[in-house]
Each structure stands twice: as structure tokens, then as C-alpha cells.
A and B are shown apart, each in its own frame.
Chain A
Amino acid sequence: MQQVSIPISDEAIHSLKVGDPVLLSGTMVTGRDAAHKWMVETFIKATRTPIDDDQQVYQEIKPLLDGGVIYHCGPVVSGLDSQEYKFVAAGPTTSTREEPYQGDVMRHFNIKGVIGKGGMGAKTLAACQEVPGVYFHAVGGAASLIAQSVLEVTTVYKLDFGVPEAMWVIRVEDFPAVVTMDAHGSSLHAEIESESRSALEGLLAES
């Protein structure tokens, strides 16, 4: 099991290959549907004018994401009233919904690692080769177990997006994942998709 510390160096990224199990340690930021849409519309394509705390949040997440990791996760969090936040359950959400945004977001912020489940498509795979970066697959549904690797909730941005959609900054130790898309152009998901499609065609031809 390979230990990966965040921020991740280019050397470490290049050493990772599809199939490698890893344990991640360091600080990461959660971000899913609302966060990706917000980042792209407000700062990357700039089709929307920043309002309220947009500019301030942008300045504060930039150094966290530079060489860092974004985690597709909508956690269950306790301590919402007292603001003594604790992750109770925090497995990955389906990543493919961020496919239209992810590549641009990785390039803009220099994000080296994307954690989620279900894999991503060709645009993200291309960004993994360019930035360079990798896609880490966490086990979907393993929410109680993954929450144990979250040592601390450092802060939260955009809580007005709702608890699942907010950008939570968390410090993790030994966060378990498997590399399923690497910086060398390999994707386990593309491979399984293609093999299962051939298998389906075979089964349909039997009928």
C-alpha cells in the first residue's frame, strides 16, 4: 500500500499507476455539483459576476487546491449548531456528474488528485495527463469507515450550498483509495466499459 502525502509532487503522480492501492494523508477539500458549477461559472469561464464572499473564498481555496486534492463527497456532519464540525459519514459521490467541469478545474487550480467513485471520462483523463494528476477511486458507500480517516474539519466554505454541497476543508490520515485513472493515459473505467459492452453484445446475440 503506497503512502501519498498532499500536496502531491509531480514525481509521486507519475509513479502512480492504475490498480495501485494508496493511503492519502494531508489536507483536502470536498467539492461536488454546486461547487464545480460555481468554480467554473464564477472564475474559470467567468460568465457570472462574483458576489458576496465569492472572491474571498476563491482566494482562500486557491492555495489549498494548488498541488492538492478535491474530494467528491457530500458528508454527514455533526456539530452544525455549535460549529464543532465532525465528519460522521463521508464516502464518495458519483464523479461522472463533474465530467463537464473537472478538467478545467484541475488545470485552473493545479489540482493533482480527484477522489470520487464510478470514474470519469475522456476530458478528465486528458487533464490527468496534462496537469499531471490522477483519479483516486474510494469505495462507494464505505462512509463510516472513510470518516474515521478524517482527523479534523479545518473549516467550511459555501455552507449556503447546503451540508452535502459545501466545500469542507479536512485533514485526513490514511484515507484509502485505488488509482483507477493515471497520468499515463490509462483508465480502468474505459477498459471495463469496453469489455462489458462486448460481453453484452455477445449475450444479446445469443437471444
Chain B
Amino acid sequence: MQDLTEPILELIRLTATNLPPDVEEGLRDALQQEEPGFAARGALETILKNVDMARENSTPICQDTGTPIFYVNYPEGWSTRRMREQIKSAVAQATDKSYLRPNAVDSISGVNSGDNIGDEHFPTIHFEEIEGDELQIDLMLKGGGCENVGAQYSLPNSELGAGRDLAGVRNVALDAVQKAQGKGCAPGILGIAIGGDRGSSFVASKEVLLRQLDDSNPNPEMNDLEQQLTEESNQLGIGPMGFGGKTTVLGTKITSKHRLPASYFVSVSYMCWAYRRRQMVVKNDQVSYQ
């Protein structure tokens, strides 16, 4: 089996320092919508300048490089045990090279491990065996500021007039955006999961953020709701950094999971504008990045 430590180190560097083109495009569109002379526009100008600078200097876009979350789709024959070791080794090296901030803190002692290696969920690695001969590794870095404003609702919720349908999903999602204010580093991207249990629902709400910002949902009803939530979130007037403005949310991604008859969870993962996710593909021993 090919040693992937070096290619994964490069995946981490790329993810932490080089914002994906679809997100940068979204931020440039947002800039056009904000009025010159207002703080919202100034914030977006600073954000875009920072994106360029991080790319040029190979330094982290944001100092909070989050929990490194890896999604590994591997063809038959790869060892997940060895890939886990290689991912951990690459994460520790990336921390040493200042691509990642040491972020793994023991919750009881308060001690930071110093190299981003914690328990079995830090870094987080999802493995899935797939057909074909191509190995794909997606990496997402999601900081604590936006992670903290994520929310989960159990429907019905009478306070928000939210029943167990898409109209109810809309109400609670808008509530989450209003409660987040600028604290999740708006303009953000909403990852929403409908259904599942409490755990799988939150996991799905993050995984759906791997989609491209400008794609559409194959389900027409969910696609309409995605458009509606982006538009209505922007009517809240929270704006970039919560300074007030027209661009609060750059996009919305929705997924649904089977649920128990008794449960109807809606989980909202709020992704900050520094929407860091990249993919690495290994095919015939050749490594490429997207």
C-alpha cells in the first residue's frame, strides 16, 4: 500500500491556506451586493485580501483550523488502520509546520496535546469502502466559532410555529441564523439535516457541506427550500461579521435521513465564510487535488 503521509500533509496545507474557488466566488458576489463605505463591505474587502495573502504565503486563512475532519472513500484493498496512522502523522507534521493550530484539548485536565492528536475522534476520520479503483480523501476544517452556533431542534416546536414538515424546517433554520448573529463569522453557509437521530443528524448536517456552493439539490422540494432559506436569511439584515448588511448567508445545503416515527430532528451546522474543504484523489499511484 502506498504511503499517503506526504500527500495528506499537502492536502492539509492546501485546505488550511487556499480557499476553494467556489467559496471565493461566493464572497466576491457578496462584495458586489454590499454598499461602498459601509462596514459590511469593508469586512468583505478585508476577507478577500486575507484569502489572497494566505494563499500567497501558505499561511492559515483562519487561525482556528478546527477539528480536522477526514472523509476517506477507499477501494477494496486499502488498510484503514494504516491510513489512520498516516493521517495522524500528517496532522502532527502539519501542526509542526504551522498549517494547523494545536487544537486538541483534554476536556478534563484542560491540557492541549500540542500536536492535534487527541482521542479516537480527534482528528475525526470517516471511512467508507467504495467500488472502483480511485481513493478519495476529503478534508474539512471547521473552526469553533461557527461550530458553537450550530443548533438542533426537535419538531414540533410551538414557540417557532414549526410543525413536522418543510415549512417547520424553514422556521427553525431561520431561528438558528438569527441566533448566530455574526458570531459564526457571517456570511456563512448552512448545512441542514432533516431526520436521523441526534448523533447521525448532526453528522449529516456537516457532511452535506461537502457539496459545491453553486450546485443544486436533486430533490426539487429541498432545492426550493435551499434557495428560500438563503434569500430569507439575507432578509434578516445581519450581514458580514454581524455588522448589518445584505449578505448573511452565501448558500444552504439540505439533506434528509430516515427517522424514528417519534423523532423529527432538524440539525443546523453553520459554516463560517472560511469554508475550508479540499479533496485529494489517488488513482494508479497518481495524486491529484481539487
Contact yes or no, B101 A21, CB < 8 A? no
Question: Closest residue to A179 on the B side, CB-wise?
Answer: B39
Contact among A77, A96, A195 with B98 in the assembled complex (CB-CB below 8 Å): A77
Q: Which 7 pairs between the two chains have the least Cβ-Cβ distance?
A: A162-B112, A118-B183, A145-B50, A89-B63, A89-B60, A140-B185, A142-B50
Contact yes or no, B62 A207, CB < 8 A? no
Q: How many residues of B contact A (CB 8 A)?
A: 56
Is residue B171 within 8 Å, beta carbon to beta carbon, of the partner chain?
A: yes
Question: Closest residue to A90 on the B side, CB-wise?
Answer: B63
Contact yes or no, A180 B243, CB < 8 A? yes
Contact yes or no, B112 A196, CB < 8 A? no
* Binary contact track B51-79/A, C-beta < 8 Å → 1, others 0: 00110010111111100000000000000
Q: Which residues in chain A, 166-207, are within 8 Å of chain B measured between CB atoms?
A: 176, 178, 180, 188-189, 191-193, 195-197, 199-200, 203-204, 207
Contacts A76-B101, A89-B62, A192-B244; is A141 near B272 (CB within 8 Å)?
yes
A46 to chain B, nearest CB (A): 20
Q: Which residues does chain A contribute within 8 Å of B101, judged by CB atoms?
A: 74-76, 89, 163-164
Q: How many residues of A contact B (CB 8 A)?
A: 51
Contact yes or no, B57 A78, CB < 8 A? no
Contact yes or no, B181 A178, CB < 8 A? no
Contacts A162-B111, A195-B237, A203-B174; is A141 near B98 (CB within 8 Å)?
no
Contact yes or no, B47 A142, CB < 8 A? yes
Q: Which residues in chain A, 48-68, are within 8 Å of chain B measured between CB atoms?
A: none
Bound CA–CA A119/B162 (angstroms): 29
Is residue B2 within 8 Å, beta carbon to beta carbon, of the partner chain?
A: no
Contact yes or no, A189 B181, CB < 8 A? yes
Question: Closest residue to B102 on the A side, CB-wise?
Answer: A163
Bound CA–CA A90/B61 (angstroms): 10
Is residue B175 within 8 Å, beta carbon to beta carbon, of the partner chain?
A: yes
Contacts A162-B105, A207-B161; is A192 near B39 (CB within 8 Å)?
no
Question: Closest residue to A207 on the B side, CB-wise?
Answer: B167
A201 to chain B, nearest CB (A): 9
Is residue A165 within 8 Å, beta carbon to beta carbon, of the partner chain?
A: yes
Is residue B238 within 8 Å, beta carbon to beta carbon, of the partner chain?
A: yes
Is residue B200 within 8 Å, beta carbon to beta carbon, of the partner chain?
A: no
B173 to chain A, nearest CB (A): 11
Contact yes or no, A88 B60, CB < 8 A? yes
Is residue B35 within 8 Å, beta carbon to beta carbon, of the partner chain?
A: no
B67 to chain A, nearest CB (A): 13
Contact among A89, A118, A145, A164 with B46 in the assembled complex (CB-CB below 8 Å): A145
Contact yes or no, B174 A73, CB < 8 A? no
Is residue B148 within 8 Å, beta carbon to beta carbon, of the partner chain?
A: yes
Q: Which residues does chain A contribute within 8 Å of B49, judged by CB atoms?
A: 142, 145
User: What are 27 residue pairs bridging A and B, where the CB atoms are less than 8 Å apart in the complex?
Assistant: A76-B59, A76-B101, A78-B98, A88-B59, A89-B101, A93-B64, A94-B183, A117-B241, A118-B181, A118-B183, A119-B182, A137-B243, A139-B50, A141-B62, A141-B274, A143-B62, A145-B53, A162-B105, A162-B112, A163-B112, A164-B102, A178-B43, A192-B244, A193-B181, A203-B236, A204-B161, A207-B170
Is residue A34 within 8 Å, beta carbon to beta carbon, of the partner chain?
A: yes
Contact among A119, A162, A178, A188 with B114 in the assembled complex (CB-CB below 8 Å): A162
Interface residues of B (CB under 8 A from A): 39, 42-43, 46-47, 49-50, 53-54, 57, 59-65, 98, 100-103, 105, 110-112, 114, 143-145, 148, 160-161, 167, 170-171, 174-175, 178, 181-183, 185, 232, 235-239, 241-244, 272-274
Bound CA–CA A19/B244 (angstroms): 11
Is residue A3 within 8 Å, beta carbon to beta carbon, of the partner chain?
A: no
Contacts A94-B148, A117-B241; is A144 near B60 (CB within 8 Å)?
yes
Contact yes or no, A204 B47, CB < 8 A? no
Contact yes or no, A74 B161, CB < 8 A? no
Contact yes or no, B98 A73, CB < 8 A? no
Bound CA–CA A94/B270 (angstroms): 14
Q: Which residues in chain A, 131-148, are within 8 Å of chain B measured between CB atoms?
A: 137, 139-148
B73 to chain A, nearest CB (A): 29
Contact yes or no, B272 A140, CB < 8 A? yes
B184 to chain A, nearest CB (A): 8
Is residue A91 within 8 Å, beta carbon to beta carbon, of the partner chain?
A: yes
Contact yes or no, B59 A144, CB < 8 A? yes
B168 to chain A, nearest CB (A): 9
Contact yes or no, B174 A200, CB < 8 A? yes
Bound CA–CA A188/B182 (angstroms): 11
Q: Which residues does chain B contribute within 8 Å of A176, judged by CB atoms?
A: 46
